[in-house]
Every structure is written in structure tokens, then in C-alpha cells.
Amino acid sequence: MSDLFAIADRAGTTASAASTALRRLEAGDAARFHLLINDWEICRLLPEAPFPYPESLARAWIDTAIADRAAGRAYEFAILDAASGAMIGSAGLRLAKSGDSASLGYWLGRRHWGKGHAREAAGQLIRWGFAELPVATIAATVAEDNAASLAVLRRIGFAETGTGRARFIGRPGERLPVRHFAITREALAFRDPETSQEVSGSGRMIDAMKPLLTVAACALVDKRGDILLARRPEGKKLAGLWEFPGGKLVAGETPEAALVRELAEEIGVAVREADLAPFAFASHAYEAFHLLMPLYLCRRWRGAPEAREGQTLAWVSPARLDEYPMPPADRPLIPLLRDFL
């Protein structure tokens, strides 16, 4: 798991020149954390922040964050201005008890508002979360009067799931109106990591207009009957999901030739076309294209598979395929493999 990541707007994608990084929150951050958060304009928007915010609470909060990270309960980061390296806020993901979802929280020191840092930090954190944590959904709850944060969540792809009321300890009395948001791994997967825009660009495409994408995929099956899966690295579409090695056909290529090429490029194994047995296919309407994916089985190859493109590889028994989150197109293939192998 990487603990530091930097995000910079690419020229031309946004007008703002903000550049933001995240790193693991440390005990030494307490004084700066306190200086930034002890501001009514921030505390009033955070459900658990009293005002004034005591320095002892900043220290205790960070100690808890460090313990929670060690226990795998929550992952809290300092938001940095990448240009100066200074801490400007904090952001984190807390896992739900069920383990399959997390909640996002973040705040920025007042002087750093309006420069795109919150959007960048929150966007990068959810991409990190879907790549590194076993969660299918990330949720967030925002006070109705927190217009900037409502805009950030919408901009990075969160959808509103409902409204409610919640207690804000800095604003005693009545429970305040809040809005609930969520984003799924699949919804994020089809947003461009650089721009946070939907990859299709023109909104929802009608099915008839979608390009048909042919991708050849292969289940390598070892002597024990285990199948090789590859986990897509952070920064790519569908990051964090497990898939069968393979890839798009280039013009004029057969699926078999594409697989011989892709398996050599991606995982360094040599297969012969004669050892690729057609097995099944996936046909799935993604937001931006329709995927047609023939799946081959291969039990004979040369070389030990190695991750050449930043993926993580795993040999998985057919009975355990369910434990590995896969792209939606792949899901119907799992029972077929389980029955056959």
C-alpha cells in the first residue's frame, strides 16, 4: 500500500493550478492539525468537531487514527499542498463493520478553500480506497449547508442516495439536515482519473451508438486447477478489480494472436495458439462501450507468470473466485468456470 501520492492537474484539464498530495497522518502533525481545524467555519461542518477545538483532542484524534490504521479500521491522511509540502487539511476512509463499504471524510484549512484541493484529495483518496481496500461502495454524508462539499462530491462522481438529519456537536440542539452520497467501484472505474469526468464524455450513450470492443481473455489453469487472476493497478479504469489476463485486439488480429501477444507483454508467458481452448464469452454493456470478450482456457505455457505492468497476480481455486471482486462483465463466467474445472 502506498502511503504518499501526489495529484497534479494536467495543463488544459482544469483552470485551477492546484496540486495536492496525501500522506499518512503522523503524531507530529498534531500542532498543525489543531491550528488548521480550530476554526468555527470548519468545525461547524464536521459532525464530531467541538468548537473551540482543544489541542489535546487533535493529539488524541491522531493517536486513534494511527491505532485504527494498524487495526485496518480506518485510513487517515494529511492533505498536503504539493508545491510547499505544507499540511493543509485531512482526509480519511473509515471501513464499515461489514467491511464492504467505507465512509469518506475530509476538511481543509480555510485559507486553502476554493483552489481545487478538496476535489483532488477526495478524488485521489477514493481511487486509492477502491484499489487498496476490499470495498464495493464509498459513502459520504454532508451537511445541507456545506455547498462546497456537496459540489466536490458531485464533481468526483458521487450520487446522492438520500437525506436525513444528524447531530453536529459544534452546533448543539436540533439535529441538522444532511445529504447522503455514495459511489460504487464500477461508477468510479469509468471516470477518467485525470479529469474526474465520465470516460464517455458525452454522458450516457444509447446502446446502439456504443462502440463494440473485442477483448480476448485467458484463464491460465495450473496443475492444481487454480486460475491466474490479475488485479488492475491504481490509475487505470476498473482499478483494484481482478480480471483474466488479456487485452484488446489490434486491427487485423485474431483473438488467439492477441492473446499470444498480450500474455507475453503482460505476464511474460509464452503460449501457442494451439494451446488456447475457446471456453465461453462475456457480452456486457459498459457505459462507454459494449464489451465482447471471448474467454479461452490454457493449461500449457512456457515461463512463470510475472506482473510486468504493475498488476498483482494470484492463483485462485475456482471455489474461491467469488472472493475476488471482478469487473461486471466477468461475473457470469465464474459459475461456468466453477462447474467446468
Ligand X SMILES: Nc1nc2c([nH]c(=O)n2[C@@H]2O[C@H](COP(=O)(O)OP(=O)(O)OP(=O)(O)O)[C@@H](O)[C@H]2O)c(=O)[nH]1
> Is 298 a residue that touches ligand X (CB under 6 A)?
no
Closest approach of ligand X to the CB of residue 217, in Å: 4
Please tell me whether residue 246 binds ligand X under the rule CB under 6 A. Answer: yes
Q: Provide the CB-side half-sphere exposure for 67 (13 A, CA).
A: 6
Fill in the DSSP letter of residue 297: E
Binding segment for ligand X (CB under 6 A), chosen from 13-21, 147-155, 201-209, 246-254, is 246-254
Q: Which of 43, 87, 217, 263 contacts ligand X by CB under 6 A? A: 217
243 near ligand X, rule: CB under 6 A: yes
Q: Which is nearer to ligand X, 86 or 292 (CB)?
A: 292
Q: Which stretch binds ligand X (CB under 6 A): 50-58, 101-109, 174-182, 327-335?
A: 327-335
Is 240 one of the binding residues for ligand X (CB under 6 A)?
no
Does position 188 bind ligand X by CB under 6 A?
Answer: no
Q: Tell me the angle at which helices 117-132 and 147-155 cross, rounded to the nearest 10 degrees.
A: 50
Q: State the minimum distance, in angstroms, from the CB of residue 326 to ligand X.
A: 7
Query: What amino acid occupies position 227?
Result: I
**Residue nearer to ligand X on the CB measure, 30 or 189:** 189
Among 59, 155, 237, 338, binds ligand X (CB under 6 A): 237
Does 325 bind ligand X (CB under 6 A)? Our answer is no
Q: Contact with ligand X (CB under 6 A): which of 23, 236, 261, 338?
A: 236
C-alpha span between 69 and 65 (Å, rounded): 6
Given 91, 178, 228, 329, the residue binding ligand X (CB under 6 A) = 329
Among 170, 233, 247, 268, binds ligand X (CB under 6 A): 247
What is the residue-wise DSSP string for 211-275? PEEEEEEEEEB-TTS-EEEEEPPTTSTTTT-EE-SEEEPPTT--HHHHHHHHHHHHH--B--GGG
Count Cβ neighbours within 10 Å for each residue of 101-132 and write b for 16 or more, e otherwise: bbbbbbbbbeebbebbbbbbbbbbbbbbbbbe
Q: Report, in Å, the least distance between residue 309 CB and ligand X.
A: 8
| C-alpha 199 chain-centroid distance | 15
Nearer to ligand X, 246 or 318 (CB): 246
Taking the CA atoms of the chain, what radius of gyration do you get in angstroms? 23
215 binds ligand X (CB under 6 A): yes
130 lies in the site for ligand X, by CB under 6 A: no
- Cell numbers found for residue 327: 469487473
Q: To which H or E segment does residue 51 belong?
A: none
Alpha-carbon distance of 156 to 152, in angstroms, equals 6
The residue among 59 and 236 lying less far from ligand X, judged by its C-beta, is 236
What's the closest the beta carbon of residue 292 comes to ligand X, in angstroms?
10
> Is 256 near ligand X (CB under 6 A)?
no
238 binds ligand X (CB under 6 A): yes
End-to-end CA distance of the chain: 33
Phi, psi of 54 (to 5 degrees): -70, 150
Candidate segments 141-149, 170-178, 231-239, 271-279, binder of ligand X by CB under 6 A: 231-239
Nearest residue to 243 via CA among 127, 333, 341, 135: 333
Yes or no: say if 259 and 271 are a contact pair by the CB < 8 Å rule.
yes
Can you tell me which of 53, 61, 107, 244 binds ligand X, judged by CB under 6 A?
244
Query: CB burial class (10 A; 0-12, 13-18, 19+) of residue 12?
Result: exposed
CB closer to ligand X, 86 vs 288? 288
- When asked if residue 168 is in the footprint of ligand X (CB under 6 A), the reply is no
Question: How would you list the strands of the sheet with 242-243, edge to edge?
Answer: 242-243, 227-231, 312-316
Determine the Cα–Cα distance for residues 196 and 101; give it in Å rounded to an integer. 21
Q: Give the binding site for ligand X (CB under 6 A).
A: 215, 217, 236-238, 243-244, 246-248, 291, 293, 327, 329-330
